[in-house]
Amino acid sequence: MNDLIHGSRVEGEVLLDGKNIYDPNIDVVGLRQQVGLVFQRPNPFPKTVFDNVAYGPRLFGIKNKKVLEEIVENSLHQAALWEDVKDKLNQSGLALSGGQQQRLCIARAIAVEPSVILMDEPASALDPISTLKIEELMETLKERYTIVIVTHNMQQAARVSDFTAFLMINEEGAGNLVEYGPTEQIFTKPSHKITEEYVTGRFG
Amino acid sequence: MPRQTFDRELQNLLDEVLLLGSMVEQAMLNAIDAFKQRDLDASRRVYKNDEEINDKRFAIENKIIILFATQQPIAHDLRLLAAILEVITELERMGDYAKGIAKISLLIGDDSFPFPIREISHMGDLAVTMLHRALGAFINEDVSMAYRIPKDDDIVDELYNQIYRKSTEAMIANPQLVDHANFTMWIVHNIERMADRVTNICERTIFIATGELIELDYSDDEWLDEDIG
């Protein structure tokens, strides 16, 4: 979608399972199935809870009612939302609380069985308790899915992740990878001075 | 409930502390038993096994550093982790005392002269029991138990003094027994220090529960009042 912006260009590669996702021949729809997206501000569709989760599977051609019901229930279970909404499947997804809406978005992403879930600051719009619930959910989900989180919340990164990449702006521009490693190591003995300065809050 | 992962980590850590504690209890009992039986092979085993105690202590410490860095523990969680760091240090030193007794047994070797085995055994049992109860109090955050246990240290100290007197008398009566008496004193010194360190574990138990750092030292002030002149 970035190519809709005038003047945007891409250099280099982003490899998913060895394939460059910026290859012009890539199947974009298939890519979107493989990589689920959860955004910073919860954005359920203006549809029922059920239709939110069933949207993706329907798009991929699943019409059988029973199969859809199973997928929806399964996804909502995995997103730790089933108990909250099982009696409200026909209510609008927008009627849920912030934390519930975010979990609905996670269920929606899971419904098409991605291999990767990309989360952009998934809890920054949520209160502390909802945040911790989402984090607990990530701990469960990471057993089945590869989860990549973008966050400014270092404590969150330290709590939930197994590996951490630290990217920073410098003279060359934004998004330079300074250090990547196991989270335990990044937060106890980082290899680079800049990483140490940043995680200890001594930057700038 | 959130932080289940962290809670599980804390529980695992407590299990590891108990495991370390029982390794130390066993080491002390084995060391004294080997000394009693003049079983030099058993003494060697105690000596070597100290390495496992050290390794486990470092593993627990390492885990705690990682939890500090990644889980931002505060309040009770913070007190607990800080206290565990102290407790495992005490346990590791007690492991060294058991190793020390094993070493002395090896130095004594085949020396057939009698030692005050009954008193030494009694001291050892007391110290190990104190440790066992202290670890139970630690896990259960039993503050009243933590206050009571250090009082048993008086009995250990009393036995220590008895053995000291007897050893001194034996040395005076027969100067050839100087080495022998020294070995005896080193052994009981190690046991006495173990019992002292149990008190430190009790102090940490009180700290976890109350946030107060206090010294539990019941006997030390009495001798200050005595007429030393």
- Asked if B2 and A155 come within 8 Å (Cβ–Cβ), the reply is no
Residues A55 and A87 in one domain: yes
Residue A148 lies in a domain: yes
Rounded to the nearest integer, the mean pLDDT of chain A is 92
Sign for the CA dihedral angle at B221, B129, B155, B174 comes to: negative
Q: Which structural domains are found in chain B, ordered by start?
A: 4-225 (1.20.58.220)
- What CATH number did the domain enclosing A45 receive? 3.40.50.300
Residues paired with A110 in a beta bridge: none
Give backbone dihedrals phi and psi of A41, rounded to 5 degrees, phi first. -100, 125
Residues A65 and A142 in one domain: yes
Residue A149 lies in a domain: yes
Q: Do the Cβ atoms of A48 and A90 come closer than 8 Å? A: yes
Nearest-neighbour CA in chain B from A162: distance (Å): 10
Report pLDDT for A148. Answer: 97
CA dist., res. A36 & res. A118, Å (int): 6
Residues A86 and A171 in one domain: no
Rounded to the nearest integer, the mean pLDDT of chain B is 93
Residues A143 and A183 in one domain: no
Residue A45 lies in a domain: yes
Partner residue opposite B66 with nearest CB, options A133, A136, A184: A184
Query: Which of the four pLDDT bands, split at 50, 70 and 90, describes residue B224?
Result: low
| Residue in B3, B70, B71, B77 to test binding to A, most A beta-carbons within 10 Å | B70
Region A137-147 average pLDDT = 93
Residues A193 and A147 in one domain: no
Report pLDDT for B218. Answer: 65
Nearest-neighbour CA in chain A from B16: distance (Å): 20
Residues paired with A146 in a beta bridge: A116
Query: Which of the four pLDDT bands, split at 50, 70 and 90, describes residue B110?
Result: confident
Q: A-chain residues within 8 Å CB-CB of B66?
A: 184, 187-188
pLDDT above 90 (res B4): no
pLDDT above 70 (res B214): yes
Q: A-chain residues within 8 Å CB-CB of B1?
A: 136
Q: B-chain residues within 8 Å CB-CB of A133?
A: 2
Partner residue opposite B66 with nearest CB, options A132, A136, A188: A188
Report pLDDT for B223. Answer: 61
Nearest-neighbour CA in chain A from B57: distance (Å): 18
Residue A25 lies in a domain: yes
- A88-120 residue pLDDT tens: 999 999 999 999 999 999 999 999 999 999 999
CA dist., res. B185 & res. B182, Å (int): 5
Residues A119 and A144 in one domain: yes
Nearest-neighbour CA in chain B from A11: distance (Å): 35
Residue type at B54?
N
Partner residue opposite B3 with nearest CB, options A132, A184, A188: A132
Which one of A110-124, A147-161, B17-31 scores highest in mean pLDDT?
A: B17-31
Residues A125 and A30 in one domain: yes
Residue A5 lies in a domain: no
- Asked if A159 and B66 come within 8 Å (Cβ–Cβ), the reply is no
- Taking CB atoms within 8 Å and a gap of at least 24, the contacts of B167-173 are B167/B116
Maximum pairwise Cα distance, chain A: 57
* DSSP H or E stretch at residue B76: helix B75-108
Rounded alpha-carbon distances, angstroms, from residue B165 to B14, B168, B184, B196 = 41, 5, 12, 20
Residues A120 and A176 in one domain: no
pLDDT above 70 (res B221): no
CA dist., res. A95 & res. A44, Å (int): 10
Partner residue opposite A155 with nearest CB, options B4, B6, B72: B72
Residues A97 and A118 in one domain: yes
DSSP structure class, residue A48: B
Both structure tokens of B129: 């029991």
pLDDT above 70 (res B229): no
Q: B-chain residues within 8 Å CB-CB of A155?
A: 72
Region A13-42 average pLDDT = 90
- The verdict on B3 touching A (C-beta cutoff 8 Å) is yes
| Residue in A154, A164, A184, A189 to test binding to B, most B beta-carbons within 10 Å | A184
Residues A126 and A193 in one domain: no
- The verdict on B2 touching A (C-beta cutoff 8 Å) is yes
* DSSP H or E stretch at residue A149: strand A146-150
The set of residues, in sequence order, having a beta carbon less than 8 Å from that of A7 and lying 6+ positions away, is none
Residue A4 lies in a domain: no
Residue type at B28?
M
Q: Do the Cβ atoms of A34 and A145 come closer than 8 Å? A: no
Residue A3 lies in a domain: no
Partner residue opposite B70 with nearest CB, options A132, A139, A187: A187
Q: A-chain residues within 8 Å CB-CB of B65?
A: 188
Number of domains in chain A: 2
CA dist., res. A46 & res. A57, Å (int): 17
List % helix, strand, coil for chain A (3-state, nearest 5). Answer: 45, 20, 40
Q: Select from B151, B145, B154, B122 the least CA-distant residue to B206.
A: B145
Report pLDDT for B128. Answer: 98
Task: Dump the DSSP string for A190-204.
Answer: -SSHHHHHHHTT---
Residues A146 and A184 in one domain: no
Sign for the CA dihedral angle at B56, B62, B63, B64 comes to: positive
pLDDT above 90 (res A63): yes
DSSP structure class, residue B114: -
| Residue in A103, A135, A136 to test binding to B, most B beta-carbons within 10 Å | A136
pLDDT above 90 (res A152): no
Write out B173-212 in H/E/C secondary structure. Answer: HCHHHHHHHHHHHHHHHHHHHHHHHHHHHHHHHHHHHHCC
- Cβ within 8 Å of A, B 9-68: 65-66
Q: Range of A130's domain?
A: 12-153
**Interface pTM (ipTM) of the complex?**
0.79
- Asked if B72 and A132 come within 8 Å (Cβ–Cβ), the reply is no
Residues of A with CB under 8 A from a CB of B: 129, 132-133, 135-136, 139, 155, 158-159, 183-184, 187-188
Report pLDDT for B115. Answer: 86
What length does chain B have?
Answer: 229
Nearest CA in chain A to B63: A184
CA dist., res. B76 & res. B65, Å (int): 16
Q: Work out the burial of residue B61: count CB atoms within 10 Å of its CB; fewer than 13 is exposed, 13-18 middle, 19 or more buried.
A: middle
Region B10-14 average pLDDT = 97
- Asked if A136 and B5 come within 8 Å (Cβ–Cβ), the reply is yes
pLDDT above 60 (res B227): no
Residues A188 and A144 in one domain: no
Both structure tokens of B54: 């050290």
- Asked if B5 and A187 come within 8 Å (Cβ–Cβ), the reply is no
Residue A141 lies in a domain: yes
Q: Which of A153, A171, A194 is the last residue of a domain?
A: A153
- B30-44 residue pLDDT tens: 999 999 999 999 999
